[in-house]
Structure 1
Amino acid sequence: MRMSAVRAAIADAARQVVMPTGTAALTCSGYVPDAVTAPHFFVGEYSVEYDKAMGRALDEAEFTCRVLVGRADDRAGQELLDGLLDGSGPASLKAAIEAARGAPGDYALGGLAHDLRVTRIQGYRWYEHQGTQYVGAELIIRVIGTGAPSP
């Protein structure tokens, strides 16, 4: 798996959420941005377990992604965040990202990986990014794919 391509594809998948009427569009990036335009989803840190199958046949990566929402109105920000963290629905990040799994038998993320799954949410709290505070949470995404070089 090429990690930079996988990161970009996860951000592209997250971009498919449908935000509630009257809410700004979700900005998404496959890397940690210098500046955040709220609401913002980005792919942060990741870890990789190599050689889950012999012959570089399978690696497993775990990505820590964050979603940050403005906090001009504490309650409204948390309600918006809750909608993004729902397990299903048009604003669900889990549903949007897992839609990139493709049809049964297809590779995930447009052919970049074998499969992916949003496994959990953690760290629902206030975050500071470049001196500005946001309410946010982390989404953990597990991606499996070949460890062999891409053609």
Structure 2
Amino acid sequence: MQMAAVRDAIAAAAATVVLPDGIGKLVCTGYVPDAITTPGFFCGEYSVDFDKAMRRSLDEVELTARVLVSRTDDKAAQRLLDAMLSGSGAASLKAAIEAARGAPGDYALGGLAHDLHVMRVQGYRWYEHQGTQYLGAELIIKVIGEGSA
């Protein structure tokens, strides 16, 4: 798998969420940005387990993505974050990202991976980024794909 392309494809999938009226669009990037525009989603660190099958035919990636929202109104920020962390619905990051799995029998992320799965949400808390505090959480995404590609 080419991780640069995988990260960008996950960010593009996340950008398809539909946020509540008046919120605007979710700003998404495949990389950790220097500055955050809220609400924002980005792919952060990842780990790779190589050679899960013989002859480099399968690698397994566990990617940590973060979603951060403004803390100007604590209750509104938590409601927005809760909507994006929901397992379903128009604002669900899980639903948006997993829609990039494709149809049964298709490769995920437009052919970049065999499959992906948003496994869990963790770290629902305040995050500091470049000296500014944001409310946010992490999504742990498992991606499997060809190791030799």
Q: TM-score normalized by structure 2?
A: 0.99
> Aligned equivalents of 2:87 and 2:22: distance in 1?
22
Q: Give the total of aligned pairs.
A: 149
What is the aligned partner in structure 2 of residue 16 from structure 1? 16
1:24: Cα distance to partner?
Answer: 2.1
Counterpart of 1:4 in structure 2 is 4
- The RMSD of aligned alpha carbons is 0.4
CA shift for structure 1 position 70: 0.1
Summarize the alignment of residues 1-151 of structure 1 with structure 2, pairs less than 5 Å apart.
1-149=1-149
1:7 Cα deviation from its structure 2 partner: 0.2
C-alpha distance in structure 2 between counterparts of 1:88 and 1:74, whole Å: 23
What CA deviation, in whole Å up to 9, does each residue of 1:61-89 have, x standing for no partner? 00000000000000000000000000000
Partner of 2:91, secondary structure, is coil
In structure 2, the gaps of 5 or more residues are: none
Deviations 1:23-82 (A, max 9, x none): 121000000000000000000000000000000000000000000000000000000000
Unaligned runs of 5+ in 1: none
Q: Tell me which stretches of 4 or more aligned residues in structure 1 moved more than 4 Å.
A: none
- SS of residue paired to 2:87: coil
Instruction: Find the residue that maps to 2:124 and give its secondary structure.
Output: strand
Cα displacement string for residues 99-150 of structure 1 (whole angstroms, at most 9, x for unaligned residues): 000000000000000000000000000001011110000000000000013x
Question: Which letter does structure 2 place at the counterpart of 1:3?
Answer: M
Cα distance in 2 for residues equivalent to 1:120 and 1:143:
13
Tell me the percent identity.
72
Paired with 1:24 and 1:125, the residues of 2 have a C-alpha distance of 22
